[in-house]
Amino acid sequence: MLSQCAYKTFLRAGGPKTAEWAERFFGKVRQLEPVWSESWSRDGHSSSVQYNVIERSFFTASVFSNLRFPKPGGPFHAISDVPHLGCSLISRRWFDQLLAWLQPPASIPEVIPRDKLVEQTLQPWEPAEEKFYCGPKRAVRAKTAKNKPPQSNGLLPDPKQRKRVSRGP
């Protein structure tokens, strides 16, 4: 799951600073570029080739500033960095096609109230889980009366009776 944080998709930049950041993100490419020169004289023709090392931005800031805004019936453009493939992908799709892929909204409530305290309490691990995650069990000191949890009926207090806690300034 954490490796997914390395994947980035760039859409149209909202300003020049953002576009410059995107340009720096993709970095620069060095390559040899040939430069040909030719000359003619009374004695004949001569030509030469020189190879220069040129460093250029992989994507310029203007690329990110000029990506189109998506709109129904129009194209959708994005540039994605995909470390798993070791490359950058330029996506061009019709925006209507992307909208067709959307799932219909689910009828799941935003909040499911839990009134029973046991539903909000983290349960202790089973012995097999503890052994798997923590290794062999060590000697444990005996519990004293101080460590016993308070007794409860298993229900949370009525919301009207709960204490209001004020946060610091």
Give domain limits for the chain: 2-98, 117-156
Q: What distance in Å separates the CA atoms of residue 75 and residue 3, rounded to the nearest whole number?
A: 30
The pLDDT score that the predictor gives to residue 158 is 66
Q: Which two tokens stand for residue 100?
A: 């067709």
Asked if 6 and 83 touch (Cβ cutoff 8 Å), the reply is yes
The pLDDT score that the predictor gives to residue 159 is 64
The pLDDT score that the predictor gives to residue 120 is 84
According to DSSP, the residues that pair with 17 across neighbouring strands are: none
The pLDDT score that the predictor gives to residue 106 is 83
pTM of the model: 0.51
Q: Which of 67, 86, 72, 154 is nearest to 119 (CA)?
A: 154
Asked if 60 and 29 touch (Cβ cutoff 8 Å), the reply is no
Q: What distance in Å separates the CA atoms of residue 69 and residue 95, rounded to the nearest whole number?
A: 10
The SS3 of residue 38 is: strand
The pLDDT score that the predictor gives to residue 112 is 83
The pLDDT score that the predictor gives to residue 51 is 92
Q: Which two tokens stand for residue 157?
A: 């207090």
Name the stretches of the chain with pLDDT < 70.
1-4, 137, 140-169
According to DSSP, the residues that pair with 44 across neighbouring strands are: 41
